[in-house]
A and B are shown apart, each in its own frame.
Chain A
Amino acid sequence: MATTEKENLSEREVTSRVWGIGVRHIVYMALGAALYGIFSYFTNILQLPSAGNVSFRPAIVIPLFFGAVFGPWVGLFSGGVGNLLGDYISGYGVYWNWDVGNALIGFIAGLVIYFTWGVYRNSRSIVLAEVFAALGVIVGIGFASITEIWLSKLSFATAVVGYWLPAALSDLINGLILLPILLLAYRAAMVRFGR
């Protein structure tokens, strides 16, 4: 009986840690969104050199990182509101399906917290974060691209060849290279600050 109670408590704790929203989550939601917006804005205006048709979007690592470290809600908010903020400060307007797509990227990347608890000490946890990040990018960009078939009346081929493949490929390359670097740097910083 005692074991069952302990298990139940543990389950509640799990739910709270993954899905609960406290002050810390709110601040990191706002920070993630602002960082995503700022990086999107500056990498747009700096016109970073890129290869071929693949646009250079290193900012995508922000929702992936915030999701992996602080959970799915923080990832969702960083992606969705961050994309909105990036478009907003660039003066491009508001495009809700891309905001939702980016929110999905952060949300799915954040589900890795079920396995890692936001701690990335070994290569297994980093690989898991990479897998969830890749899944998030594919699903999130896929959602935004496929909704364009209905919203902009694109053909399926245009949505896939014109949006999904180049955007997802670019985000995958940028995200998967920068995410482990950030996770390791974050771990080192936490150790240094004794947290």
Chain B
Amino acid sequence: MLIALPYIKRDTPIHRLDPRVKLLLLLAYGLAAAQTSNVWLILVGFVGSACYYALARLKWSETRRAWLFIIFLNVILVFGNYFLSGGAIVQGIDLSHQHQLFSLPFFGFLNHPPYVGPKPLIFSVESITYMLTMGLRNFSIAFLAVVIPYTTNPGQIGVAFKQLGLPDQFAYAIDLSFRFLPTLARDFSVTLDAQRARGFELDKLRGGIFGRIARLAPLVVPIVIGSVVGAEDIVNAMELRCFGVGRRTWLTELQTRPLDRLLMALIVALFVLVTALNILGNFYVSGPLHILHEQGLPAFLLR
């Protein structure tokens, strides 16, 4: 059982992007999207991130496992949130005049003892749109997040963090942790096979939850303790080579192209614009400056 990193070498615009641009885009988009529940703005973000994902030319067969997990998690979250909040939670939006379509008898949290009891599950134009917005937001973030491991060479991650301003020691530790992966995966595989040969059945652990966890010790202990003891050799080797005494140089340096710099500037500018709009929206009750604080529902739905 060897580990295969998800990185797929290809020549696409996304593969050519500086890793810092990808990380910055993900962070800035996530923080910007969190500032609004306007369905149109989130839809624009969703379409944009879907186009970005398409540019990476990743095939379904390559990303299937990740997407199945993300789809499952998002469906559970979106519907779970709807049911747990009784369809009444739409953050940052005035819900005093909801356009209720229908309601179903359901259970929910109450403000008085016994705190859980019968409560109607409201289906309104606002709450259904909010559910849709939540789904679009989560999937748009996933489009940006999933692209990173498949299009970024793991050898560039440590350098990217270094050039983002992280101290040398931390950046080197990131680099080193990627180098440890193949060795540890091999150790894991060898230990698992050795323990299986002794009758250890990982897939059929018996007993209650506590017993099952405790029975994992024959797998966890040799790998962890063996690695910790073995790492002493690496510590000695690094100390002998005077690691950390002088300024560290890196074999590879990331070169930002004009396009990367332009994209970074655009990302920062858009994030600042969204944040400014969010702050200004608190002082204006209507108009274009209030756009982030509205759901943006079309008029025909509110008749």
Q: Which residues of chain A have a CB within 8 Å of any CB of chain B?
A: 21-31, 33-35, 37-39, 41-42, 46, 48-51, 54, 56, 58, 61-62, 65, 77, 81-82, 85, 87-96, 149-155, 157-158, 161-162, 173-174, 177-178, 181-182, 185-186, 189, 193, 195
Contacts and interface: CB of A to CB of B under 8 A. Distances in A.
Contacts of B169: 21, 25-26
Contacts, number: 213
Given A38-B185, A193-B229, A91 B150 contact: yes
Determine chain B's interface SS by DSSP, over half rule.
helix
B224 A65 contact: yes
Nearest to B92: A153
Contact of A155 (B81, B180, B204, B244): B81
Contact of B23 (A24, A94, A158): A94
A79 B31 CA distance: 22
Determine chain A's interface SS by DSSP, over half rule.
helix
Contacts of B208: 51
Contact of A181 (B134, B180, B214, B238): B214
B184 A181 contact: no
A173 B213 contact: yes
A186 B175 CA distance: 26
Given A181-B214, A186-B228, A46 B185 contact: no
Contacts of A50: 209, 212
Nearest to A184: B221
A162 B84 contact: yes
Given A91-B6, A91-B63, A155-B84, A30 B224 contact: no
A158 B146 contact: no
B212 A49 contact: yes
Given A85-B177, A89-B181, A90-B66, A48 B205 contact: yes
B34 A150 contact: yes
Contact of B145 (A35, A77, A92): A92
